[in-house]
Amino acid sequence: MPGEPVIVVPDDFPTVFNGTSAHERCQKLGDTRVYIERGADDEAELIRRIGNARYAINIRAHARFTEGVMAGCRKLEMISIWGTGTDNIDLDAAGRHGITVCNTPGVNAFAVAEHTLALMLAAARRIPRIDREMRGGAWPRELLTQLLGKTLGVFGTGTIGRRVIALAKAIGMDVLAWSARGDAGAVATLGARAAAKDEICRAADVISLHLRLGPDTRGFLGRREIALMKPTAILINTGRGALIEREALLDALGQSKIAGAGLDVFHDEPLKPGDALVTFPSVVLSPHNAGQTPEVIRDGLLRAIVNVENYVKGTPTDVVVAPVKTRR
């Protein structure tokens, strides 16, 4: 249909893409439409927004590219994701419908790793709580946790996990690491020791999650694993909320079975007012913004456009799904 866009950004809410250099570069590829209003979390609305576009640039994880969306967008050839996570994309459906899926792995790795370290330190030193108490006129004198000489357990040794290991080593922590590939040699080159899941849960003073969310990692830390943790342990999650069983975490925090947590990701986002997590003074919270720096936004958005450019040239990059068949 004349006037319909070739490229759609259906979910730029809150907006980070509209009017940027990446947007300008995208427009050179073809007619581009950017939606900056809420609503892409509704399947019918997402289908309407994509329409007959050939390429969709996915900004936010609340836009879920389901079987229904892909079936309803018959001309869609490619989804270019800004970010690493693909849990909002039905990858099997993409393959069946001949849709290529690309992402931008590693762009936000250093920013997320820094945020992970910040959450570790903030939880261990109880900085948010002490700050609140001092603003109320108190002068807290409780003992704090020193990370030097403590053991960090890292689940996931991708780009973010590797950087977290490096930062932890730099402040004097010992590191145990679990790799999905089970490659002890690769873990050793990072200055960490490969360990089994249960060993890490038992031994670590701080545990940090850097896994992709999938059927095999959903609820990766559940009631059994959390029960193995030290009562002085701190749990950090900058991966995905569903990596941890929510009720098991709430029970552990409520009964002081662990010392605290630093969380940037949640089962439901945004976190609702009055959520049980906000009631625990031992929990440090941030609104899924670990990777939100000007540098990450600039570089990640441009790379998402480069992935579209390369697909158009016939040399796709950062491919997550490369379908056997091509849509017609």
Cα gap 283→263, rounded to integer Å: 7
Cα gap 202→228, rounded to integer Å: 5
Cα pseudo-dihedral 304, 113, 164, 267, rounded to 10? -90
Among residues 269, 298, 309, 327, the one annotated as catalytic is 269
Among residues 54, 210, 240, 303, the one annotated as catalytic is 240
Cα gap 249→260, rounded to integer Å: 10
What is each CA distance from 27 to 7, 225, 308, in whole angstroms?
8, 49, 12
In the residue annotation, 23 being an active-site residue is answered as: no
What the block records as the tokens of 326 is 């091509």
Cα gap 85→264, rounded to integer Å: 14
Which own/partner pairs from 278-286 qualify as long-range (CB within 8 Å, at least 24 positions apart)? Answer: 280/253, 280/254, 281/129, 282/123, 282/126, 282/129, 282/253, 283/123, 283/253, 284/119, 284/122, 284/123, 284/127, 284/128, 284/260, 286/115, 286/119, 286/262
Among residues 125, 288, 298, 327, the one annotated as catalytic is 288
Neighbours of 75 (CB within 10 A): 14
In the residue annotation, 288 being an active-site residue is answered as: yes
In the residue annotation, 115 being an active-site residue is answered as: no
Tell me whether residue 21 is exposed, middle or buried, using C-beta atoms within 10 angstroms of its C-beta: 0 to 12, 13 to 18, 19 or more: exposed
Query: Is residue 155 helix, strand or coil?
Result: strand
Q: Which sequence positions are flagged as catalytic?
A: 240, 269, 288
